[in-house]
Structure 1
Amino acid sequence: MDAMNGLLTGKRVLVTGGARGLGLAFAERIAREGGTVVIADLRDELAAAEAARLAAEGLAVHALSLDLADPESIRSCARQACEVLGGLDGLVNNGAVTDSGGVPAEELEVATWDRVMTVNVRGTWLMTIACAAALRASGRGAVVNLASDTALWGAPRLLAYVASKGAIVAMTRSLARELGDGSVTVNAIAPGLTLVEATEYVPEARHRLYIEQRALQREQVPEDVCGAVLFCLSDLARFTTGQLLAVNGGFVMN
């Protein structure tokens, strides 16, 4: 679609964890649909390189450094994003860590649990709050939180991550009620197992399980999730809030 007539023309969006994987796919699609995007990531050099690559194609993409474990970094990133974009219409809370993958619950270390909760849950909360004033000022603000279908079916040997994504679902509903007074929508997307760098550790048997038990029996790729994110950011979803959309090929039917 022509970016001048795209679904998100004129939208100013911050995507956390945007240097690679799902976040990068979201940022590129948002830009191709006419949006202006800031990708924020702890991997700031990679984020800058990807933003430069996309900008060379004529897309409006910028990069900032972000550490979701650091409250000051979150506040600074939100402030800088608003300055770069001239305001904010959308926030995609994609940044997260897995860390606990493959570890049974009885062997999970407290430090690992705390890190996953700090980045995935506290980071999402603090980033949303840091952006709330700008999103309210937009008059058409939208927050999209990335959950996971692991929280819907209870994936084993992934307890901290699953718990954090379950918290994201619950937080989405509460934040939708709190931010609704400013006409800000808050929705969650729950992707299935997707072929990205962050899932390279997942055993082949788990990939086969997903494929065999999906209604749509194939691997999931980042592009499969982009449509749901674009919808939630767009004006088509202005009366949709507090909802969870599972995008997993029918592995879990929410």
Structure 2
Amino acid sequence: MMLAGRTILITGAARGLGRAIALTCAEQGARLVLADIDSDGVQATAVDLGARAVTVDLGDPESITALGDSLAATGEPLHGLVNCAALATNVGGMGFEDIELDLWDRVQRINVRGTWLMTRACAPMLRASGSGRVVNVASDTALWGAPRLLSYTASKGAVMAMTRSLARELGPDRVGVTCIAPGILTTESTEYVPETRHRLYGDGRAVPGPQAAEDVTGTVAFLVSEAALTLTGQVLPVNNGFVFVT
């Protein structure tokens, strides 16, 4: 129960990896605030876990500010933020020359700006907790340079870079900021991905085969715990050995 007594906010918690992270954090004793643009989905997850559900649109700065204000108004501590929500569906499959400007801008607005604004909105509460933790969810596509996925890959590379800068800015207040970079997971969120790409990952991993969301969630639970401060600024490729970093 390494998260007993800690309150964790998880975005993108309605389904997929975000929901799986919420389940593991609940098992580890965390009090949860679950956020997603899918109001019905996140409410269902919250009911299952006895958590608080909130609706947020990462593409709307006012929505993010309102979420931060509502959490601050409770006067309760916030010990962790998991920035899991992102736009990934139907953003690939095309060469870089064919990406439409509107798609590029939307991916960056949600995946990059949304992550920054969520962290900014929660930073005062994380500082006040005395042991705040931020975990950003990136992707190993930004580590190996996945083709025909440039808008998404670029956004996740930016999330990795932000992690390092945020770690330096928040470190003096003992707020740790880390980043995980999983590969393709077997969730409902990746059903649209061509089987050839799933096979590429499965065959190329040091531990061959598919990777479930549950293979990642234990790492996230540790990273939002008090014990993880010494890892601040690090990007962890939690991908069963598809990509190694030095």
With normalisation by structure 2, the TM-score equals 0.96
For the pair 1:22 / 2:17, whether they are aligned, the reply is yes
Q: Percent same amino acid at aligned positions?
A: 54
User: What letter corresponds to residue 74 of structure 1 in structure 2?
Assistant: I
1:200 aligned partner: 191
1:228-243 mapped onto 2 (5 Å cutoff): 228-243=219-234
CA separation of 1:63 and 1:144: change in aligned 2, threshold 3 A: same
Asked if 1:173 is matched to 2:164, the reply is yes
Q: Structure 2: any 5+ residue segments left out of the alignment? A: none
243-252 or 192-201, which deviates more: 192-201
* 1:129 match: 120
In structure 1, the residue matched to 2:150 is: 159
| Maintained 8 Å contact 2:182/2:237 | yes
What is the DSSP-based 3-state SS (H/G/I as helix, E as strand, rest coil) of the residue aligned with 1:165? helix
Q: Report the Cα offset of residue 83 of structure 1.
A: 4.4
Deviation for aligned residue 1:77: 1.3
Match of 1:36 among 27, 31, 37: 31
Give 1:84 shift: 5.3
Task: Look up the equivalent residue of 1:100 and give its one-letter code.
Answer: V
1:94 aligned to 2:84? Answer: yes
User: Of 43, 48, 55, which residue of structure 2 is paired with 1:48?
Assistant: 43
Q: Distance in 2 between matches of 1:185 and 1:167?
A: 18
Distance, in Å, in 1 between the alignment partners of 2:45 and 2:75 is 18
Q: What residue is the counterpart of 2:62 in the other structure?
A: 72
In structure 2, what residue type is equivalent to 1:192? G
User: How many angstroms does 1:86 deviate by?
Assistant: 1.2
Is structure 2 residue 7 aligned with structure 1 residue 12?
yes
Q: Distance in 2 between matches of 1:144 and 1:84?
A: 23
Q: CA contact under 8 A between 1:18 and 1:39: conserved in structure 2? A: yes
- What is the CA–CA distance in structure 2 between the aligned matches of 1:169 and 1:207, rounded to whole Å? 23
Deviation at 1:35, TM superposition (A): 0.4
Deviations 1:84-110 (A, max 9, x none): 581200000001002422121111000
Q: Kindly provide the CA deviation profile for residues 165-219 of structure 1, in whole angstroms up to 9, marking residues without a partner as x.
A: 0000000000000111211000000011101222111111111111111000110
1:210 aligns with 2:205: no
SS in structure 1 of the partner of residue 231 of structure 2: coil
Can you list the C-alpha shifts for 1:44-96, whole angstroms capped at 9, x where unaligned?
111111211222xxxxx111000000001001112223445812000000010
Deviations 1:105-159 (A, max 9, x none): 1110000000000000000001001100000000000000001000000011110
Partner of 2:71: 81
Q: Which moved more, 1:96-105 or 1:19-28?
A: 96-105
2:141 maps to amino acid: T
The letter for the 1-side match of 2:224 is L
**One-letter amino acid of the structure 1 residue matched with residue 140 of structure 2:** D
Aligned-CA RMSD value:
1.1
Shift of 1:231: 1.3
Contact in 1 for aligned 2:13/2:45 (Cα 8 Å): no
Higher RCO, 1 vs 2 (CA within 8 Å, ≥6 residues apart): 2
TM-score (norm 1): 0.93
CA contact (8 A) 1:12 1:85 kept: no
Aligned residue number for residue 227 of structure 1:
218
Aligned residues: 244
Runs of 4+ in 1 over 6 A off after TM superposition: none
